[in-house]
Amino acid sequence: MIHNRYPKANVLRQRDHWDDATRRVVLDRVHNVPEFKHFDPAARATLEALCDLIIPQTHRPPDKRVPLAPWIDDLCQQHVEAFRFDDMPPNDVAWDWGLEGVEQTAHALFDQSFTRLAVERRQEVLDVIHDGRAPGDVWQRMPAARWWEFVAVRQVAGVYYAHPYAWDEIGFGGPAYPRGYLSLNHGDREPWESEEVR
């Protein structure tokens, strides 16, 4: 069981303090989860299994879990990278190839789809991808370790921590606009932020 360090946190209670544009953006993340448009059902299943390992959410009630895979799908439709490594394809292609590579590695190691493997075996697949020694044709076109670090982990974590439910988990009180920050002294809590319980 994961210890909840901020049991009283509920950033959505702060919504009356935000301006209209901020409120619309934040509430949109909660109530308007994008539909899958980029990934086919098989890739979607692989992506969901991958997200479950990168950021497990079994400690959360089902209605408080951050929907990671739909937001990754959304990134593939409209994400413009600020930079890209010269040995990496565009973001949408990197996700397509990466999920294909995850499946190829699972089949090479265990002769089964990634989605059908037990959690421990899925982790073994991800370990060899992380280490850059994954079998599979995809990894000849794109470096496995770089995909793991800069596409999979970075973007899944980014989607997670852009969501208000994750803000509650880390004690972030949400946007300070338009009221601003008051406690500008070495990490003191803002009056509206929850106190950490150790």
Burial 135-154 (b: 16+ CB within 10 A, else e): bbebbeebbbeebbebbbbe
Work out the pLDDT band at 191, boundaries 50, 70, 90.
Answer: confident
Q: What is the pLDDT of residues 33-65, one digit of tens each?
A: 999 999 999 999 999 999 999 999 998 889 999
On whether the CB atoms of residues 104 and 136 are closer than 8 A, the answer is: yes
79 CB-near residues (< 8 Å, 6+ apart): 91, 92
Please tell me the distance from the alpha carbon of residue 194 to that of residue 14, in angstroms, as a whole number: 11
The reported pLDDT for the residue numbered 51 is 98
The reported pLDDT for the residue numbered 79 is 65
